Amino acid sequence: MPFYITTAISYVNGVPHLGHAYEAIATDVIARHMRQRDGDVFFLTGTDEHGEPVADAAQAEGIDPQELADRNAERFKALMPLLGVSNDFFIRTTDPEHERRVQEVLQRVHDNGYTYKGVYEGWYCARCADFKVENEILEGNLCPIHEIALELKQEENWFFKLSAFQERLEQVYAEHPAFVMPLVRFNEARSFITSGLQDISLSRKHLKWGVTVPWDHEHVFYVWFDALLNYYTALGYARPGEDLTDHFWPANFHIIGKDILKFHTVFWPAILMAADLPLPEHVFVHGFLLGADGRKMSKSLGNVLDPFEVLEEFGTDALRFYLMRDVSFGSDGTVGMDAVTARYESELANDYGNLASRTIAMIHRYRDGVVPDVPTDSELAREFEDLLPELRELMDAAEVSTALELIWRRVRRCNRYVEERAPWRLAKDPDAAGELDRTLASLAEAVRVISVLVSPYVPTSAQKLLDVLGAPELSLGGAEFAPTGGGRRVAVLEPLFPKRA
Ligand SMILES: [Zn+2]
């Protein structure tokens, strides 16, 4: 089964921060897990490059908007390998192929009769590049997201007949309770719809920095429609000489933050319906990362967790693990350097790293580096019995932090197993040789299974360990707890998560 997953695209008018890293990593964990199932996965990320804020910033610097977009897009693109993110393509909304397909799709929306010309007057946030409706505006006419003053704006626009989709959207929500996840976000989106939909602007007249409206060249498309369509357009040209659209569309998952819920759960499905295109299966909405003090991160409060600092000090796998482990995916959560250190030391180094190094070291010390080819402990095997189907089910619902918790329970169980079996005592008793064989074979197998399952979270460390075990295969088909140790030769393991100076 083809599986298509996307992050939101990052607005180029900023610099990469922890929020971007968080979303890209979570999406990557799901993509890597799905590749372990059977490999037919497409994972898209990219940058959103049009709109007034980019044009304004470029003007302030005295440069062309394209120049600004080129420079900033590069920073986001360069972030992905640093995070170990395995996206299949990086879309830029200034790609000519994207622009051409945006025009095609929205021309169809126009031809289908879902547009009209009118005058829009409303409260506009320049940072969101969005008009706000009455019930979202904060006291004092402030943007609910940026808490900056909104301006009253009037202009000639092409409108999209969102109101025409009131009933069909209500029906989508009635029939697909997993269209938006988690449930609290589903309810939020649905109540936005049932409170009554108003038509929305589809174009801007005086802005040049955007995709030209093909039936009215004085207008460019409102940046949000151009941006949303990236999920669809990318499939047309991501792989040179191939059109992947029929194979991968509709998307299985859009992973987004809660600040852009309305666009993805109301406007986006309506535009797709207006263009006669099938809807994505799920929109998963994650929460915000807050400073350790529980407040929004800001330089002035000194509570910013800098992803580059974590990468520098602890490495890619540690950042990935920390973010997936410390914040429940779908909820807001606090993050900070102390918590990174604590998770690194107690869980990566002590729980997993130590289990791995003890196991490998004992196989060298007691069995000359060969995993005994004897039956494994059926009692330990039983602890792993339900794990794989449970993980599949959780990953199908993008429950990445719950899935990690289930894996971690097994890591801890194995550490207790080492203490219970005390191989160092068995090694002193010649009559216990068989028991020692079984213990070592079971531990090697448990470490192997855990590493296959945890590899989407900590890909480099897990792969290193699997290579040392002589079992590099990542497929979930091979993640069942094997009945025998297998007789493989193990290599020497350097510490996976070294003690820090
Ligand atoms: Zn705003």
What distance in Å separates the CA atoms of residue 455 and residue 453, rounded to the nearest whole number? 6
17 belongs to the catalytic site: yes
Which entry of 50, 98, 110, 128 is annotated as an active-site residue? 128
464 belongs to the catalytic site: no
DSSP string covering 344-366: IIIIIIIIIIHHHHHHHHHHHHH
CA nearest neighbour of 384 among 255, 482, 263 = 482
CA nearest neighbour of 180 among 248, 264, 249, 250 = 264
Report CA(144)–ligand 1 centroid distance (Å).
Answer: 7
Which entry of 17, 77, 176, 258 is annotated as an active-site residue? 17
Paired residues of 499 in beta bridges: none
Report CA(146)–ligand 1 centroid distance (Å).
Answer: 4
Report CA(302)–ligand 1 centroid distance (Å).
Answer: 23
Q: What is the predicted pLDDT for the residue at 53?
A: 87
Report CA(139)–ligand 1 centroid distance (Å).
Answer: 14
414 belongs to the catalytic site: no
Report CA(303)–ligand 1 centroid distance (Å).
Answer: 22
Place of tokens 């900590």: 458
52 and 207 Cβ atoms separated by less than 8 Å: yes
* 223 three-state secondary structure: helix
128 belongs to the catalytic site: yes
Which entry of 20, 161, 219, 262 is annotated as an active-site residue? 20
What distance in Å separates the CA atoms of residue 83 and residue 75, rounded to the nearest whole number? 13
499 belongs to the catalytic site: no
208 belongs to the catalytic site: no
Paired residues of 10 in beta bridges: 47
Q: Taking ligand 1, which is a single-atom ion, which protein residues have CB atoms under 5 Å away?
A: 125, 127-128, 143, 145-146
388 and 480 Cβ atoms separated by less than 8 Å: yes
296 belongs to the catalytic site: yes
Per-residue DSSP letter, 430: G
Which entry of 33, 50, 125, 161 is annotated as an active-site residue? 125
pLDDT along the chain (501 residues), means of 10: 97 92 98 94 98 89 96 96 98 98 98 96 83 83 90 92 98 98 98 96 90 97 96 97 97 97 98 98 97 91 94 97 97 97 97 98 98 97 96 98 98 98 97 98 98 98 98 96 95 93 69
CA nearest neighbour of 410 among 352, 468, 357, 466 = 352
Which entry of 77, 146, 258, 364 is annotated as an active-site residue? 146
Using a cut of 0.85, tell me whether the model's pTM lies above it.
yes
Place of tokens 């890909």: 459
Tell me how crowded residue 257 is: count the other CB atoms within 10 A of its CB.
18
Beta-strand (E) ranges in 108-264?
115-125, 130-132, 151-160, 180-181, 200-201, 203-204, 220-221, 253-257
Report CA(260)–ligand 1 centroid distance (Å).
Answer: 11
Report CA(7)–ligand 1 centroid distance (Å).
Answer: 20
20 belongs to the catalytic site: yes
What distance in Å separates the CA atoms of residue 82 and residue 28, rounded to the nearest whole number? 13
